[in-house]
Amino acid sequence: MKIIVTGAAGFIGMHCAEHLLARGDEVIGIDNLDDYYDVTLKEDRLARLSTHSDFRFFKLNIIDRYEIERLFDAVRPQRVVHLAAQAGVRHSIEAPHVYVESNLVGFINILECCRNFACQHLVYASSSSVYGGNGKMPFSEHDNVDHPLSIYAATKKANELMAHAYSHLYGLPTTGLRFFTVYGPWGRPDMALFLFTKAILSGQPINVFNHGKMIRDFTYIDDVVRGIILVLDRPATADPAFESGKPDPSRSSAPYRVFNIGNNNPVELMVYIAELEDALGCAANKNLMSMQMGDMPATFADIGELETAVGFKPSTPVSQGVRQFVEWYRDYYRV
């Protein structure tokens, strides 16, 4: 197929594009290469993709409506994987307008292009952060998610609502994927594993928030990408059993679905750090700190719906995933 991947120079975007190219798809990558984190890392990810003859890259910002329309008109993709967004819970508290522009204005531009140029399926990135103040574990797509704890989370919830409107109004099949703490080689430098590894290897202390009493459903990148592609290949359909009197947030009478995509095996932060220390062969100097604004104390994905729908089963334990990240980090940074 001919597939547009937005955020192609990003962590998940690069891995997703690689897997699509490996199976024979034509991939058109979009990214604005912003400086939220090291642009060199993004350029090196693109360099990996550029070795494939079926990959084309366009440096575009999704908030540029007319340039995005021009590209969609020229390419006419059959499917779209929308991963471009302003990421980061904590940064959204400091710079909320950036999140509105990228995650809301940018997303409406993608939705408009998908409906105007006959896209067969839009798969887009949501986030586990939409669960916000929910205390019921594991997090289920059937539960209400109206209490976000950050602007970032609010924009991701808004994306799901916007997607539903387009599925209802125009019959556009849309599927949102709520990612749970994705990690692995070529990861984002602002994520905990990257920050911890850099600090430990340079002899600096690591900041451990909520005094280490955090629990995360850490999900390895290869598992996530397999899930994305399984979903991409099965466009959302309307649920004939949908009850408007008892609406289920995860589905609709329109071709719309929302899924969790996680490891379904939450790990305490201190255990995660211990796995990293073991992989690095040295101990961390831990600076225990209080909880940060916008953070969630725990995440835990119920992935039953995704398993039923497409057969998704994560297979990478944290011990293996952390070790593979460390091997990549040492090789890439030569440390």
Residues involved in catalysis? 152
Element (H, E) at 271: helix 269-280
* Cβ neighbours of 203 (radius 10 Å): 8
Residue type for 322, please? V
* Cβ neighbours of 68 (radius 10 Å): 22
In angstroms, the CA 334 to CA 329 distance is: 8
> Do residues 43 and 35 lie in contact, with contact meaning Cβ atoms separated by under 8 Å?
no
Q: Which string of DSSP letters, residue by residue, matches 30-78?
A: EE---SSS-HHHHHHHHHHHTTSTTEEEEE--TT-HHHHHHHHHHH--S
Give CA separation, 168 vs 77, 98, 119, in Å: 21, 28, 15
Q: Identify the bridge partners of residue 57 per DSSP, sorted by sequence position.
A: 29
Q: Identify the bridge partners of residue 27 per DSSP, sorted by sequence position.
A: 3, 55
Q: Which string of DSSP letters, residue by residue, matches 115-160?
A: HHTT-SEEEEEEEGGGGTT--SSSB-TTS-----SSHHHHHHHHHH
Q: Alpha-carbon Rg of the chain, whole angstroms?
A: 19
Give CA separation, 254 vs 7, 111, 164, 192, 259, in Å: 27, 15, 8, 38, 15
In angstroms, the CA 180 to CA 321 distance is: 14
In angstroms, the CA 262 to CA 313 distance is: 9
Neighbouring residues of 186: CB distance < 8 A, sequence distance ≥ 6:
11, 14, 15, 41, 45, 221, 328
